[in-house]
Amino acid sequence: MKMIIKGGTIVDGTDREAKPADLLIEDGRIVASALVIEEEADAVVDATGCYVMPGFIDLHVHLRDPGQTHKEDLLTGAKAAARGGVTTICAMPNTNPAVDTVEVLQDIYQRAEQAPVHVLQVSAITKGQGGQELVDMAAMKEGGAVAFSEDGKSVMDVTLYEEAMRQAAQLNVPVFAHCEDKALVGKGVLNEGVASERFGVPGISNAVEDIITARDIFLARESGARLHLCHCSTEASVWLVKMAKSMGIPVTAEVCPHHFILTDEDITEENANYKMNPPLRTKRDVKTLIEGLRNGTMDCISTDHAPHHAEEKAGGFEKAPFGIVGLETSASLTYTALVDTGVLSIQQMVQKMSTNPAKVLGVDDCKGYVQIGKDADLVIFDPNVEYVVDVEEFASKGKNTPFAGRKVKGRVRATIVDGRLVYEDTARTVKPQPEEENLFS
Ligand code: DOR
Ligand code: ZN
Ligand code: ZN
């Protein structure tokens, strides 16, 4: 199977300038790159006016499979990824049952063979995510787990967590940390301050996150584990990552689009699509997160794609579950908020969404770059199309996003996985409504 991608501008995952080139793909790999490639091929994909970039790698996705497939399942989640230009997803283990045995892991991998994108599974750290007893970490690695995480919560028993980190270090598998002090968060719902006061609900302070972030960084230093900090939302988390890196501690960090775009002041009505964990923070936090992304302190942009059913989300701020979907909006939101505004270069966007996640997973020998010999996992992205986020277009079962109805710029035109076209945009001529406010104006 031969494919040619014609007329695009390549952003290759390095700092090199974006350059026009055609790509030749054969048997799932990039085999040639030249200004013009004229050759017989089984398929020709038109990338005129578009960036051709390494497919995005989302380190933080909830597929709800097994156990909560009314919210999402493996295939709908993978289709949502393809729509978002995401060619590899890491699925978090807080399913039902939790991904804590090789049997659950293998069932997922078996079914993932049908998925249009690569699905990598993260193992729980403790059995049933109960915080009491470690999973068989060596067996989970053997079974194909790419990381260990208790996402949804933190392992609060510090000695147990230190032991988990030691084992993870020995196995050379990263730990993905959700940082939240269980006692301190209490029944917190929204950021402590403007939002919690406006709606009269218990607040979540920055300290809830910062204390565990600091703890985990020092555990990483003791154990030698590679620590990846999930969904950093606070100013201090950026400073802590900067400190850790300057001390040579093996830490990486991700930020989600909602945390670098929205603040607690944007919550003006009781709409639980603004409820996620960690919560939307203050302008000051957002400013520091963006600066951290810009200066390289913060490595990755991931989504924490957390689909929930509309009825569950209708339960009001206190009852509704935490979380929002993100797979189908993250590229457009990142482009609109950070690249179109000149904060990040297009090269940096690609590094945060593909190259650096590939490095976190240790798969940068074959993914995260558009280069000869690398896997043909690619996204073709049109930076000039403006459109309004329409949740009815989503492949995800989850429609829970605060960005519904917002105008954005930049849209995925096509997604290629292992040299196969897995998604092509059919609605790319959608015109924005003139009266719609630009998201960032
Ligand atoms: O908002 C969130 N949703 N944060 C989490 O940590 C868990 C996630 C979920 O599973 O819904
Ligand atoms: Zn989490
Ligand atoms: Zn999560």
- ∠ CA(212), CA(99), CA(68), 5° rounding? 100
Q: Which two tokens stand for residue 113?
A: 């063979």
pLDDT in tens, 139-185: 999 999 999 999 999 999 999 999 999 999 999 999 999 999 999 99
Q: What atom of ligand 1 comes closest to residue 307's alpha carbon?
A: 11
pLDDT in tens, 127-137: 999 999 999 99
pLDDT in tens, 218-271: 999 999 999 999 999 999 999 999 999 999 999 999 999 999 999 999 999 999
CB 50 within 8 A of CB 380: yes
- Is the CA virtual torsion 397, 401, 404, 407 positive or negative? negative
Q: Which among 73, 210, 299, 304 is annotated as catalytic?
A: 304
Going by alpha carbons, the residue nearest to atom 6 of ligand 1 is: 152
Q: Pick from 110, 108, 106, 107: which is nearest to 62 by CA?
A: 108
- Does residue 276 line the site of ligand 1, with CB under 6 A? yes
Length of the chain: 441
- ∠ CA(26), CA(27), CA(30), 5° rounding? 45
Going by alpha carbons, the residue nearest to atom 3 of ligand 1 is: 323
Which ligand gives the minimal distance to the CA of 274? 1
State how far the Cα of 168 lies from the Cα of 328, in Å rounded to an integer. 32
Phi and psi at residue 179, in whole multiples of 5°?
Answer: -105, 110
Q: Which of 62, 327, 401 to mutate to test ligand 1, by most ligand atoms within 8 A of the CB atom? A: 62
Averaged pLDDT score across all residues of the chain:
96
Going by alpha carbons, the residue nearest to atom 1 of ligand 1 is: 323
Section 279-297 average pLDDT: 99
Q: What atom of ligand 1 comes closest to residue 151's alpha carbon?
A: 6
* pLDDT number for residue 315: 87
- Does residue 94 line the site of ligand 1, with CB under 6 A? yes
CB 83 within 8 A of CB 394: yes
State how far the Cα of 437 lies from the Cα of 441, in Å rounded to an integer. 7
Catalytic annotation on 425? no
* pLDDT number for residue 240: 99
What is the band of 439 on the pLDDT scale with cuts at 50, 70, 90? low
* pLDDT number for residue 425: 96
CB 85 within 8 A of CB 54: no
Residue 245 burial by Cβ neighbours in a 10 Å radius (0-12, 13-18, 19+): middle
Q: Which of 68, 90, 94 to mutate to test ligand 1, by most ligand atoms within 8 A of the CB atom? A: 94
